[in-house]
Chain A
């Protein structure tokens, strides 16, 4: 496959950033469970948060392929693309379903990086993946809404100026776009520490009154609005995973060629070669599927099935590549100084695929609906 030259240049530019934001930087961010401020600021200065935002709102109006190579390349050089991914992907819901007023108020700031919209709060303690049983609730009181919500595993909310919140109303699930400045003491967060640096929290909102202006999309249309963004989100998750897979492969192949034991490179042993080759084959296949899905998405065709397949294949390829990296590196794969263990932890957040497999079974294979 021949990639468009400007995408190659995007890749090259991201790789150049690795000189300034090398392994030391990411290790420290990971170790201290910090937000990668300096890196995110540089990305903002260079216009990346505006990649997918239309030109009339100060963005660049580019297609998802650009976003895909950006997150892939950050992960491939050993960085962590999760924040940039969130910044590019989540704003698409506001682009699609925001009112003119919401768009004009927030999109230019999001495009320039001055406003961070990094969070969608959907998951709840008692329903998990099952979004049809939300307990968080918005009650209509005159022309205002009163919001009560309890959400878990919510990423980046403490670093986000805006947040999209999914709650139930009497007319079905509905989204709200909340401005942190206006939340005051009506919101409480407690961090939940995960294996990877995802800055997740439990989130409580208690009796917050907001005007109807804060509603995002139609009343009762909350899940639909989120679902319209799923193809993009899956493809960016796939791209992050492909970046992770290539990180493991690049490092492992180099190590396998140069590490000598028993008087020969460890990569001369089939026991090391085969896992790497298998992981490479799966990564390449996932990559092709990802481009096929991107092609559909960019030409405004239905990319739902292909994007789901790409996400499943890519996340599994990355996991397998991480496992192969451990075989190449031996014990050193678990030492922080080689970064394999850090990326393994990063790659772990993408391996939950059951919901997608059910979706593919039903939508692509035509099997009976599972739930």
Chain B
């Protein structure tokens, strides 16, 4: 790979940025007038970013008030405020569970969002920074999920605890935490099977995994929801259900290297008061980026 780590990261987000930036630039090209059509276009831009019609109307409503109250001079001034309005909706991580030491973290979410890949990337970064990481493969359902995590464990050069496919995922977690105690790991990352939040049985299975983790872990146990940036409004329902079931501690937002803007994450973060912890910006081991609300909001509105 010729490109540097940082290049790739900003390249990934850059595309997100460009796309929404395009929308905003169109807005600006309309001229400085802040008329009804401007507000409509602004709302459209936010909806197309998957922020949802409700949140979009909210943000535009707030901005309209501000524009009137403060007599904002032109469209550019309004858009500058937009950055603040979006960033203001996302709480900062007071305690980043991925920086907590020691810690056990469960990675959960619906199917195919990027849980396993994120576990691999986070393990690599933590291990490089000197943490003693251990991985647990609690996806005992999907074909070759264990093999996939095994590859990531090798790449990240961290140990993996696994059992054969079809075993009880809670028992893998039990084994992993026993092993963690034995070898003195300070960070246990648990990869779980994707599951739709509508499946009662699978959500109950996940609760059991969490219960076992809490009972066995000598470290605090955290749960992180992995959301795909292409997700639409259903993401909010997903997040609520996983939050109800487990009490989430944060969000990892993946696949921001495409054109999807991940606006649903703003809605989730705002609605549930959950911090976004990391951004996935590619399939390579280094494609994980820290989250900064203002930067993210700037990237969304194309103002960097």
Same complex: no
